[in-house]
Chain A
């Protein structure tokens, strides 16, 4: 059997999710941290529905972004514990499978987090995403995918740095500005209404970002991993 890209990608996703399912190292911390962020913001802003509605999208993405950093920082942790990335690199076949597997792991974890987080945010921040729910879900998934694409790539870049917990957000957040612009504005419009029909522009920005950075990151990943 050929060591196909799909099989190797699946193997890494299966392995990482199985380890996470058993240890719950990342997910428990992510849920707790995200809920704490939302609670603190909700408490600070108070019960003013108009303000919460206006800021809700931004607050939700602050929680997702900060929590996502926890997930990204642990992207290669299971490999470190096992003795480094050499073990994965020694397998023959397409090395991009490592990136794709890790990307899908991070994306899956964030999506599961969002499934938990959105109802919590709806209660704490008095959000009402249900009216335009498909649009809200679509924008959230596009933003999450862009975040995961670039985040996984930068996690691989910084994995060997001693101060990677500091370096990862420093390098990553500037690169994610287009994602945050598109996701925050798109989510806010989906939540608060969009009488001027401006949401299409933000969706196009997210789609373009996701496609361009996905292609670039997949393309150049072997250069990052190989010496």
Chain B
């Protein structure tokens, strides 16, 4: 990849395929995501959205094909990529028996981020959880847990965040919180790759939309270029 493309692109995937067991979870994916943009992956359950995010996060290795994330190769660049990329899974990776503050402290230690108590509390304030900092995460509602999970990302100097089903089980306030996070992240120049099956919600925030179905990339376009069928909530993944 040329130096210019490395500067311009946060993610570049070339002919990327992934087989899980006997099933091809992804086939021949070609994708370029520009730095500072918000790209939404839409597709039904089983389309390969989470697999694609996990590949970009270096949690899975491609079966074939190549790719670069923030200029680092997927094969061999895992540590460099993980320093700059945050993944928010659907369950948020929180420990229910730790308080909100303790969850943040653990995340900061693990990420090697030197933050003091005041900075941890500031991160909680930013997501509106400063008043429950000593409360255990298991006592939080789904929306509050999601906020706490976002706070673990806010503490780190990341360039790219991968959000897996961030709208799942959220009410309207929670949905607004996710939208605000995406807006805020974008205003800081960060890149967002967001996977969801709630197409109507996600495309509002997208610069580009990627439609995945049965492990194949059907379309990579602007939200305006989406076809009605892409937004059909009844779309289901056919057997591979």
Contact = CB atoms under 8 A, between A and B. Distances in A.
A15 B98 contact: yes
Contacts of B113: 1
Contact of B114 (A1, A19, A86, A92): A1
B60 A227 contact: yes
A28 interface: no
Given A15-B98, A81-B96, A86-B54, A7 B59 contact: no
B104 to A, nearest CB: 12
B82 A90 contact: yes
A82 B61 contact: no
Interface stretch (B3-11, B29-37, B86-94, B184-192): B86-94
B97 A23 contact: yes
A3 B93 contact: no
B110 A83 contact: no
A7 B109 contact: yes
A87 B93 contact: yes
A78 B95 CA distance: 7
Nearest to B138: A81
A18 interface: yes
A50 B107 CA distance: 54
A90 B86 contact: yes
A93 B79 contact: yes
A165 to B, nearest CB: 22
A8 interface: yes
Interface residues of A, number: 30
Given A82-B93, A82-B95, A89 B59 contact: yes
A37 B117 CA distance: 46
A92 B79 contact: yes
Contact of A227 (B61, B89, B94): B61
Contact of B59 (A4, A15, A86): A86
A175 to B, nearest CB: 28
Given A82-B93, A82-B94, A90 B57 contact: yes
B221 interface: no
Given A14-B106, A90-B57, A90-B82, A83 B87 contact: no
Contacts of B107: 91
B112 interface: yes
8 contacts: A18-B102, A86-B54, A86-B59, A90-B59, A92-B82, A92-B111, A226-B61, A227-B60
Interface of A: 1-4, 7-8, 10-12, 14-15, 18-19, 22-23, 78, 81-84, 86-93, 226-227
Interface of B: 54, 57, 59-61, 78-80, 82-83, 85-87, 89-98, 102, 106-107, 109-114
5 nearest CB pairs, A to B: A3-B112, A87-B93, A83-B91, A1-B114, A11-B109
